[in-house]
Structure 1
Amino acid sequence: MKFLMLPIFTTLFCVTSKSQNNDLQLWYNKPAEKWTEALPIGNGHLGAMIYGGVGEDRIQFNESTLWSDGPRDYNRKGAYQYLEPIRKLLAEGKQKEAEELAQEHFMGLRSNEKGYETRRKEWLQKVKGDVIISSPQWNNAQWESMQLPTLNGWETAGLEGLDGAVWFKTTFALPDDWQGKELLISLGKIRDLDITYINGKQIGSTEDITTNRLYSIPANLLKKGINEIEVQVINYFDKGGFAGTKGDREIFAIYPKERNGKESVKLKTVWEYWIQNDDAPAMPRYQADYQPFGELQLSSQVADISEYRRTLDISNAVSTVAYKSGNVTYTKEYLANYPDNVIAVHLKASGKGNVNYKATFTTVHKNYSIRKIDDHTLALDVAVKNGAMKATAYLYVDNKNGRVEVADKALQISNSDEATLYMIAATNFKNYRDVSADANAICKAKLAAVKKLIYEKVKAAHIADYKKYFDKFSLQLNGGIANSGLPTDERIKQFSITNDPALLTLYVQYARYLMLSSSRQGTNAANLQGIWNDLLTPPWGSKYTTNINLQMNYWPSESLNLSACTPPLFKLIKEVAEAGKETAKEYYNAPGFVLHHNTDQWRGTAPINASNHGIWVTGGAWLSSHLWEHYLFTRDKTFLQNEAYPVMKAAADFFVHFLVKDESTGWLISTPSNSPEHGGLVAGPTMDHQIIRELFSNTIEAAKALGVDESFRKKLLQKYDSIAPNQIGKYGQLQEWLQDKDDSSDTHRHVSHLWGVYPGKDITWNNEKMMKAARQSLLYRGDDGTGWSIAWKVNLWARFKDGDHAMKMLQKLLSDATAGKGSESGGVYPNLFDAHPPFQIDGNFGGAAGVAEMLVQSHMGYVELLPALPSTLPGGVVKGICARGNFTINMQWEKGKLMRADITSNAGSNCIVKCGDRTVAFKTVKGKTYSLDQALTLIQTK
């Protein structure tokens, strides 16, 4: 069939990308002060955060393979001997005993575990005995000042990476009428151990990070006038120092034990401190941490700044800072080029000879060196403490006119017309088993190529490579007002009180920008923070949490036309499948592979942390669904045969042997496991059964598509029919566990038992009763939560076809995270990074996937258009959104109604389209585009 295309749609679809580029910028009228105000750039290998300072500029950078620890064995040998005893205890209702047994015998091996307690005891005795407060060493120590408390550790006060012993001291004046009285001193929480003194005499000591320190001061230790408080704080790992307290408990105060009224002496909040020892023995760790590399600092002498503007143009992946000083206009461009694998900083100034900068390297790593390579090149070498990783970065400058000098561990650019800084970096990482690469040799070889680069060509190649993927999708949302004239941080504050759909468009495209910047062919998969991290001990190790967060990172990859970003994920899946074979054998005496709730660069797959949440067996099964989804979206049978199916089959084979019959119900159940991070170690969590059912179903379909393993298919089908089904409980809710024990007032951040609604398809509108029970569960859970939890709820409400509720979640997701809303309140930071809090990138990706799910769904065997369109987005145009069956869709809607859809068939699959109460089905030819009007009438094929 051939019909004339309506001209209005031709125009709309052609100009959408161009028109929206004007609004695809994050911009600010001041430099960043905090890391969560800085702007991210990245190419998958290298990532950097741009602060955009004027006199002092900071570019904090990362390299994707720089992690703590190194290749090692994570598995406790013979742990399977305790599997049946643990199962038996759970079957008898003895959860506490099961968790205790599992904690002792079923958790993974930790690094540096052997002999640690002896080393710690010896070190602790040393630092306790090293200093006597009255000795000359005490008075000769180099004391500095610190504002207390440091709620997120003394790391935030400049002591990043310090594990050891630090002395603090201050003074207070004793009121005359308190002489002879016993007093109390309240200091709040201290990490990890404190030994507290008054005038050199110990009054108390506690080793606990949750206990508020409240000590008695005997009257005979006090003296008239000024008294001194001395506290030795010993921190073994991670955050250290005075951590304050939650609520309104009075801290940093002294008052009489027999207190009259509220009288107290308020202590100073600026104390002196002295680092006594910064070499605590390496703490045993279950898994590794993603590491920062260093920081490039640019110094210049400028004054009287005006017309400052800092931007990140996500349509071209270029960040720019521009300002005037006197009559001179200065600009700095920052980009992370993938084809050449460099970070480039281009420095310009109007007039001649006005580019004058000093460039230096710094790092938070204790073991580092800075050295000169040649007259235009500086190097930074770092070695990760107590780990196997070593890394090198080179900084090379290409300048036009003027002079360059490398001296005193700095690179000086003087009187140039313009200059480009190129940064390259490498580590000794080869693969998760091998760290024998030579980072310096890699950088040295790369330097020869970098010296031939021309910035204009580097920038052009970067933009062309980036736009090849970014421009495949565009989105225009109409309605409300556009606040693009406001700086992005101000615009975020306005989003929940004004309808600004253009900010939602920016948010979706920003997620695509972040994915292209952190996950490219040949790189590591995006971790909890993508590729960006400035801390030696980042939140949750900035690793790969596989009970939701890693998977959420890749939720939008297929639907938002970024399938090209998935190879790093598939590489990770292949490697954990390899490593997880030994875990399956040692812990469950089973074939196939298993992955628990976290992994890292070294592909640890054993249970970690605590048995009440670390023993969760379906991480590998969930990841396997991404392989199948990729096939459904692309119809790439070669990928299915060579990459997907072997992993899917191995994951399924594990559960064929792992599932056991529940004696009380006769169903096959998953035990031991847990409903992620909620409710402790149990038998038969609902989420497990949903994931396993879908794994079996997907593996059966994959085997059919490939025409293989008929007997294995039959075995899976038999098991599938016996797995414990979804159940509706006494509150009309979908049960989270095998037993009906849900609490209708429970607002836990995880909504794990709703996995079958999204991202799975175990529960659909084909079973309306079960779908309504799942919806009831979500209503009980409430609308609040951490950033990623709110993002998950966006997708769930979209699957429930409630666009207005999904939009309500998006308003929470894009709320101002700096407004002090609490520890599990979500929102975004000024740079649009998602807040757990703190920063986790999964919320960015999950929220963008939710918008896609509101516009197009295809998980039920047909393509549904506008299934969950909110009333606040009555009109819009989307171009390049993808559906299963390898369909690409351009679509326009007005007044809440579909106007037109152009569906391109990239694989020649049969197509069923639904919108509202209308459905149309038609066969397609690969490469053809099929145009439908508002009634789903086929009006053109071309």
Structure 2
Amino acid sequence: MHSGCYSEAGQRKSNKNSQLWYEQPANVWEEALPIGNGRIGAMVFGKTSHERIQLNDDSMWPADLGWDEPAGNANDLAEIRQLLIKGKHQEADHLFVERFSRKSVVRSHQTLGDLFLNFEHDDITDYRRELDINTAIAHTNYRSKGYQISQKVYASHPHRAIVIELSSESPEGFNGTIELGRPNDAGYPTAKSHIGDDMVLVMEGEVTQRDGKIDSKPTPILNGVRFQTCLKVLNENGEVLTKDKSLMLKGVKKATIFLVNNTSFYQKDFVTQNNKDLQQAIAAGAEKIKKEHVKEYQKYYQRVELFLENESPDSLATDQRLERVKNGETDLGLQNLLFNYGRYLLISSSRPGTNPANLQGLWNQHINAPWNADYHLNINLQMNYWLANVTNLDELNEPLFDYIDRLVQNGQKTAKVNFDCQGTFVPHATDLWAPTWLRAPTAYWGCSVGAGAWLMQHYWVHYAFTNDLDFLKERAFPAIKQSALFYSDWLIEDPRDGYLVSAPSTSPENRFFSTDKKAVASCMGSAMDQQVIAEVFDHYVQACELLEVKPPLLEKIRKQRKSLRPGFVLGGDGRILEWDREYKEVEPGHRHMSHLYGFHPGTAITQSETPEIMDAVRKTLDCRLENGGAGTGWSRAWLINCYARLFDGDMAQQHIELLLKQSMYKNLFDAHPPFQIDGNFGYTAGVAEMLLQSHEKELIRILPALPSKWENGYIRGLKARGNITVDILWEDGVIKQVDLTCPEKKQIKMIYEAQTIEVNLTAGKTFTFRN
């Protein structure tokens, strides 16, 4: 958008929406501030006497012990299907778990440990800590006995290091120790520290998990990813000495701490790589590292800018603003900040060459994390990446695709051995090593078969946003083909109506009452399974057409697609059926809304092509809410996206305010509770969805769900499908200007309220609409 579209006041105020700040140190982990370079990161507490910087590496996992598929085979699958045909759902659930869910040791992502800076500062005044998400630097500033003390912490991607800059104006300087440590695992030490050559503080160890369990019995994993953390201090004035297994600062007025970490997951010779990273960081120096860090980070962050005109008190600290919202105030600036924060967190936890963001992104203080901080594939990992393309962060999808490729490869064995199917099978949850067998004691949360098709959507969406035909051919199509192959073999004919259905089939983590009033999960074709299979079939066919190929599978998929039971079937009350028949729900207000997958994040239900289903979607959401739904942060974020798709900006805004009131920690981490990062990512995607939609064919909707409270603002740099960059300026709730830019010639329709505008885009030139 041309700079003339921005008011100077707007530009100045928008900078306020890039800072989280506080008037006191973090008392608990959920108040600390996150930094990360995609692979390594930290949570900065900002303490004045015993500073804690909790460290993270995305590859800290117990060992891959090797794995064999469960005992189940095609005969067992046929027996389960016969039970379902006879209406014996409970028996089918039991057999599904018994034969196809492997009783495995559950592995957890783990903390790397802690860096402690033990400086006994007292008489503290003028305290302020902040995270500047425009520069990705955490600052702590205060006075001790009247003298200024400052700390800067950042994680540099170009230099593969965390850097901590310390300065003191006190004539006594810094006096105290620097230590590295790691929590015990069930009482056992997990790392050793020592002083190495050239006064480098070293911590090294191997990941264990002594509280791993199988059949509720401890099953220790005594080896795993090996790691080494190295820390070097460069000082001005004073001395750096050694004391036992720590470094000691004496009278140091300025110091730079360089910290690096490498693991055996990424590097066979990780110790050599660690030394190389440390020496390169030291040679570069803090000023060069910081300059290149900010430049490289802003290459991503500054692609998009949102400004919502806001009367809220920017002079208040972030936690104070959050408290005001919880007491009923509206703070558009905080909503704006949270949108930016989601982009910051993805940039900081997902970079080309790293692992994808897990349930906690990158930031985890536990040896045994909640839900193992693993990869849940029935919405959570997917939600982590909803924002990537639309907020112009296409490259950050690469770790996701690298990981799915591993799942696709491993799942080919599971598909063949357990189900006698071609293609690949992907379970509902997995971990760093990408195992693909089911692992759950119950069918309703563990025996989902739709995850593979859901993951395939991300390949297709990435192609749709980038128009990268090479990506479609070389990366997306091979994966989509494997998924389509599996579901093609998996489907059976339902003898009740002749439709092709997925069986056994569940709706993730939800249950219904069978005819004998038992709470059960398995059925003949849940809504979600039917929807995701239809979608992966459609994308396979479309990919074949775009790539101009006609493999033998193509005609079979086309034929099966016509015989699939529809994924959207209405019940007697006008709602979408979640299962194959109109059963009574065990939890009418369940947090998952999987039976609306084809509406969002799918694209099968749209205003332009299926308007008759839109009312049913709303009724379905209304029923969930009337029965206490959306109790978790990520579920609330999903609702924001859904109401954006329903063009109901005020309802989306209501859920934004409820997210802030009910599901937000002081550091603006999403509270499931406990912390799950998908709510942060889902929120940012939802805001983008409120401002721009492009999921309908050759159609872009501008401000489709603008809340009445968002009277004045602008968004710069959003992406629409077709590789179109979109800038929007509005005043008094009305569009003033829209700029569309595309690197290739394209013809589209742009819709704003009741207006439909035919747009002919010229390659490399900006089309401007003024209202």
> Which TM-score band (shorter chain)?
over 0.9
Equivalent residue, structure 1, for 2:293: 462
- Residue 447 (structure 1) shift: 2.6
Equivalent residue, structure 2, for 1:729: 571
Equivalent residue, structure 2, for 1:280: none
Instruction: Provide the rounded CA distance (Å) in 1 between the counterparts of 2:679 and 2:335.
Output: 14
Map 1:738-749; keep pairs closer than 5 Å: 738-743=580-585, 746-749=588-591
CA contact (8 A) 1:616 1:674 kept: yes
CA contact (8 A) 2:727 2:740 kept: yes
CA contact (8 A) 1:863 1:883 kept: yes
* 2:612 aligns with one of 746, 769, 781: 769
Residues 166-189 of structure 1: per-residue CA shift (max 9 Å, x gap): xxxxxxxxxxxxxxxxxxxxxxxx
Indicate yes or no: 2:183 matched with 1:364.
Answer: yes
Equivalent residue, structure 2, for 1:377: 200
Indicate yes or no: 2:376 matched with 1:545.
Answer: yes
Indicate yes or no: 2:356 matched with 1:525.
Answer: yes
Against the structure 1 CA distance between its residues 452 and 41, is the aligned structure 2 distance closer, same or farther, given a 3 Å change threshold?
same
Equivalent residue, structure 2, for 1:310: 129
Please tell me the residue identity of whatever aligns with 1:344. V
Instruction: Provide the rounded CA distance (Å) in 1 between the counterparts of 2:400 and 2:438.
Output: 21
* 1:559 aligns with one of 371, 390, 393: 390
What is the DSSP-based 3-state SS (H/G/I as helix, E as strand, rest coil) of the residue aligned with 2:365? Answer: coil
The answer to which of 92-101 and 11-20 deviates more is: 11-20
* 1:700 aligns with one of 520, 531, 541: 541
Please tell me the residue identity of whatever aligns with 2:500. L
Please tell me the residue identity of whatever aligns with 2:272. A
- Residue 388 (structure 1) shift: 2.0
* 1:883 aligns with one of 706, 720, 733: 720
Indicate yes or no: 2:687 matched with 1:860.
Answer: no
Equivalent residue, structure 1, for 2:679: 843
Instruction: Provide the rounded CA distance (Å) in 2 between the counterparts of 1:407 and 1:908.
Output: 67
* 1:56 aligns with one of 50, 53, 76: 50
Please tell me the residue identity of whatever aligns with 1:781. R
* 1:713 aligns with one of 550, 554, 562: 554
Equivalent residue, structure 2, for 1:614: 446
Indicate yes or no: 2:633 matched with 1:787.
Answer: yes
Instruction: Provide the rounded CA distance (Å) in 2 between the counterparts of 1:464 and 1:296.
Output: 27
- Residue 594 (structure 1) shift: 1.2
- Residue 928 (structure 1) shift: 1.2
Please tell me the residue identity of whatever aligns with 1:736. E
Equivalent residue, structure 1, for 2:218: none
Equivalent residue, structure 1, for 2:238: 402
What is the DSSP-based 3-state SS (H/G/I as helix, E as strand, rest coil) of the residue aligned with 1:650? Answer: helix
CA contact (8 A) 2:182 2:190 kept: no
* 1:678 aligns with one of 510, 518, 527: 510
Against the structure 1 CA distance between its residues 400 and 490, is the aligned structure 2 distance closer, same or farther, given a 3 Å change threshold?
same
Equivalent residue, structure 1, for 2:748: 911
Equivalent residue, structure 2, for 1:233: none
Residues 722-751 of structure 1: per-residue CA shift (max 9 Å, x gap): 111121001110100110114497101111
* 1:509 aligns with one of 312, 336, 340: 340
Instruction: Provide the rounded CA distance (Å) in 2 between the counterparts of 1:728 and 1:605.
Output: 34
CA contact (8 A) 1:885 1:907 kept: no
Map 1:777-856; keep pairs closer than 5 Å: 777-782=620-625, 784-815=630-661, 817=662, 827-856=663-692
The answer to which of 666-675 and 922-931 deviates more is: 922-931
Instruction: Provide the rounded CA distance (Å) in 2 between the counterparts of 1:18 and 1:473.
Output: 16
Equivalent residue, structure 1, for 2:479: 647
CA contact (8 A) 1:372 1:407 kept: no
Indicate yes or no: 2:316 matched with 1:486.
Answer: yes
Q: CA RMSD in A?
A: 1.7
Please tell me the residue identity of whatever aligns with 1:701. Q
CA contact (8 A) 1:744 1:780 kept: no
Instruction: Provide the rounded CA distance (Å) in 2 between the counterparts of 1:546 and 1:409.
Output: 42
Equivalent residue, structure 2, for 1:46: 40
- Residue 715 (structure 1) shift: 2.1
- Residue 52 (structure 1) shift: 0.5
Please tell me the residue identity of whatever aligns with 1:671. A
- Work out which of the two has the higher radius of gyration on C-alpha atoms and give 1 or 2: 1
Against the structure 1 CA distance between its residues 476 and 744, is the aligned structure 2 distance closer, same or farther, given a 3 Å change threshold?
farther
CA contact (8 A) 1:374 1:406 kept: no
Against the structure 1 CA distance between its residues 71 and 923, is the aligned structure 2 distance closer, same or farther, given a 3 Å change threshold?
farther
Equivalent residue, structure 2, for 1:107: 101
CA contact (8 A) 1:75 1:109 kept: no
Against the structure 1 CA distance between its residues 74 and 785, is the aligned structure 2 distance closer, same or farther, given a 3 Å change threshold?
farther
- Residue 108 (structure 1) shift: 2.5
Residues 766-802 of structure 1: per-residue CA shift (max 9 Å, x gap): 2222221121111000054211001001100111111
- Residue 31 (structure 1) shift: 0.4
What is the DSSP-based 3-state SS (H/G/I as helix, E as strand, rest coil) of the residue aligned with 2:134? Answer: coil
Residues 222-271 of structure 1: per-residue CA shift (max 9 Å, x gap): xxxxxxxxxxxxxxxxxxxxxxxxxxxxxxxxxxxxxxxxxxxxxxxxxx
Instruction: Provide the rounded CA distance (Å) in 2 between the counterparts of 1:772 and 1:310.
Output: 48
Instruction: Provide the rounded CA distance (Å) in 1 between the counterparts of 2:19 and 2:142.
Output: 17
CA contact (8 A) 2:384 2:677 kept: yes
- Residue 889 (structure 1) shift: 0.7
- Residue 911 (structure 1) shift: 2.2
CA contact (8 A) 1:310 1:321 kept: yes
CA contact (8 A) 2:161 2:278 kept: no
Equivalent residue, structure 2, for 1:412: 248
Map 1:245-394; keep pairs closer than 5 Å: 285=105, 287-350=106-169, 354-365=173-184, 366-385=189-208, 386=221, 387-394=223-230
- Residue 86 (structure 1) shift: 0.9
Instruction: Provide the rounded CA distance (Å) in 1 between the counterparts of 2:671 and 2:68.
Output: 31
Equivalent residue, structure 2, for 1:213: none
- Residue 77 (structure 1) shift: 4.9
Count of residues in Structure 1 that have an aligned counterpart in Structure 2: 737
Instruction: Provide the rounded CA distance (Å) in 2 between the counterparts of 1:500 and 1:785.
Output: 22
Please tell me the residue identity of whatever aligns with 1:341. R
Please tell me the residue identity of whatever aligns with 1:757. F
Q: TM-score, normalised by structure 2?
A: 0.93
Where in structure 2 are there 5+ consecutive unaligned residues? 209-220, 512-520
Instruction: Provide the rounded CA distance (Å) in 2 between the counterparts of 1:379 and 1:466.
Output: 28
Instruction: Provide the rounded CA distance (Å) in 2 between the counterparts of 1:889 and 1:621.
Output: 30
- Residue 13 (structure 1) shift: 7.8
Please tell me the residue identity of whatever aligns with 2:591. R
- Residue 674 (structure 1) shift: 0.7
Instruction: Provide the rounded CA distance (Å) in 2 between the counterparts of 1:880 and 1:905.
Output: 12
Map 1:135-214; keep pairs closer than 5 Å: none
CA contact (8 A) 1:645 1:699 kept: yes
Equivalent residue, structure 1, for 2:518: none
Where in structure 1 are there 5+ consecutive unaligned residues? 111-284, 431-435, 818-826, 935-942
Instruction: Provide the rounded CA distance (Å) in 2 between the counterparts of 1:921 and 1:72.
Output: 57
What is the DSSP-based 3-state SS (H/G/I as helix, E as strand, rest coil) of the residue aligned with 2:462? Answer: helix
- Residue 714 (structure 1) shift: 2.6
Instruction: Provide the rounded CA distance (Å) in 2 between the counterparts of 1:419 and 1:908.
Output: 54
Equivalent residue, structure 2, for 1:931: 768
Equivalent residue, structure 2, for 1:633: 465
Please tell me the residue identity of whatever aligns with 1:795. N
Instruction: Provide the rounded CA distance (Å) in 2 between the counterparts of 1:597 and 1:745.
Output: 20
Instruction: Provide the rounded CA distance (Å) in 2 between the counterparts of 1:864 and 1:453.
Output: 47
Instruction: Provide the rounded CA distance (Å) in 2 between the counterparts of 1:484 and 1:745.
Output: 41
Instruction: Provide the rounded CA distance (Å) in 1 between the counterparts of 2:52 and 2:20.
Output: 18
Q: TM-score, normalised by structure 1?
A: 0.76
Equivalent residue, structure 1, for 2:530: 689
Q: Identity rate of aligned residues, in percent? A: 36
Instruction: Provide the rounded CA distance (Å) in 1 between the counterparts of 2:243 and 2:677.
Output: 39
Please tell me the residue identity of whatever aligns with 1:735. L
CA contact (8 A) 1:735 1:742 kept: no
CA contact (8 A) 1:74 1:605 kept: no
What is the DSSP-based 3-state SS (H/G/I as helix, E as strand, rest coil) of the residue aligned with 1:584? Answer: helix
Against the structure 1 CA distance between its residues 406 and 926, is the aligned structure 2 distance closer, same or farther, given a 3 Å change threshold?
farther
Please tell me the residue identity of whatever aligns with 1:57. E
Instruction: Provide the rounded CA distance (Å) in 1 between the counterparts of 2:143 and 2:149.
Output: 6
Instruction: Provide the rounded CA distance (Å) in 2 between the counterparts of 1:597 and 1:485.
Output: 45
Please tell me the residue identity of whatever aligns with 1:299. N
